[in-house]
């Protein structure tokens, strides 16, 4: 099920583009934006960074663009002295879960689900379970 | 109209509590949380800070708690060398608009609405207009 425009907008309000642009990335092809990664260096955890939201245009997928964005972000983290990256995804988003596993992220132990990948219950609010990923840069 | 739990959860995913807790504030009364302010120091704009989300329990309102949280955040900003604070609100949230006006925030010029306070169109996504506030700390 595709999320609605308003729900997507709630995930990426403009503040991210105003205050965390220098730790975010854009991928272009033929002068058009085909992907982006919004990330930040944790204010409270000086060795950590966080990937908040990633998007790749449907017709640009399966070409390694997501991997390239993540690797570019890992390099940015290393330059900033951040050796750990965290991110979360919805347990329903099996494509995202598979992508993060392929990228070498470990899953923090959770309670929800009966497969090998379990989500943390109510992580982002009542009923909003999340698979929690962590990786060394 | 009250927002649903999921929509509120989308505004404050756990990442804020993990990575921006030291620039956020909690107000307690009788050992219970009755208010909070989630703010951060802009990574990209070294003289700015941002207030992302504020909540005061219904039965704790009209007692100056919101004002006290904002003033505590302004003091935190001053200590961190941030002399400008920004925040946004929905134009439907007339209570929030009035609160920010009373707190001395200026409204950046917008296009939506016919009163003195106009929202910026599509600020946080298609159809998601926002009143944009700014204040010196």
pLDDT in tens, A37-63: 999 999 999 999 999 999 999 999 989
B81-94 pLDDT per residue, tens: 999 999 999 999 99
CB pairs under 8 A between A and B: 93
Can you give the pLDDT at residue B45? 98
Q: How confident is the model at residue A2 (pLDDT cuts 50, 70, 90)?
A: very low
- What residues in A contact B22, CB-CB < 8 Å? 43-44
Look up residue B64 and give its two tokens.
Answer: 């100056």
Judged on CB neighbours under 10 Å (0-12, 13-18, 19+), A108 is middle
Average pLDDT for residues A12-29, to the nearest whole number? 95
Can you give the pLDDT at residue A43? 97
Can you give the pLDDT at residue A3? 53
B59-118 pLDDT per residue, tens: 999 899 999 999 999 999 999 999 999 999 999 999 999 999 999 999 999 999 988 899
- The phi-psi region of residue B89 (left if phi > 0; otherwise alpha if psi is between -120 and 50; otherwise beta) is beta
Q: From CA B40, how far away is CA B47, in angstroms rounded?
A: 12
**For residue A40, what is the nearest residue in chain B, using CA coordinates?**
B43
- Chain B within 8 Å of A80 (Cβ-Cβ)? no
Query: pLDDT higher for A10 or A67?
Result: A67
Predicted confidence (pLDDT) at residue B1 exceeds the cutoff of 50: no
Can you give the pLDDT at residue B2? 46
- Chain A within 8 Å of B25 (Cβ-Cβ)? no
Q: From CA A8, how far away is CA A84, in angstroms rounded?
A: 26
- Chain A within 8 Å of B4 (Cβ-Cβ)? no
Average pLDDT for residues A80-86, to the nearest whole number? 98
Contacts of B48 (CB under 8 A, 6+ apart): A19, B41, B42, B82, B84, B85, B86
Mean pLDDT of chain A: 92
Can you give the pLDDT at residue B10? 66
Contact A41 B44 (CB under 8 A): no
Q: How confident is the model at residue B49 (pLDDT cuts 50, 70, 90)?
A: very high
Is the confidence metric ipTM above 0.90 for this complex?
A: no
Can you give the pLDDT at residue A115? 84
Judged on CB neighbours under 10 Å (0-12, 13-18, 19+), B102 is exposed
């Amino acid at each position: 099920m595709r999320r609605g425009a308003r729900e997507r907008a709630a995930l990426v309000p403009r503040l991210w583009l105003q205050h965390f642009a220098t730790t975010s990335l854009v991928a272009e092809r033929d002068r058009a934006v085909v992907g982006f990664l919004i990330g930040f260096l944790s204010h409270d955890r000086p060795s950590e960074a966080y990937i908040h939201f990633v998007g790749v245009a449907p017709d640009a997928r399966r070409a390694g663009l997501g991997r390239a964005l993540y690797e570019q972000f890992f390099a940015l983290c290393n330059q900033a002295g951040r050796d750990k990256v965290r991110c979360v995804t919805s347990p329903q988003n099996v494509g995202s879960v598979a992508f993060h596993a392929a990228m070498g992220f470990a899953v923090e132990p959770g309670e929800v689900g009966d497969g090998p990948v379990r989500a943390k219950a109510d992580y982002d609010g009542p009923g909003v379970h999340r698979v929690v990923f962590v990786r060394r840069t």
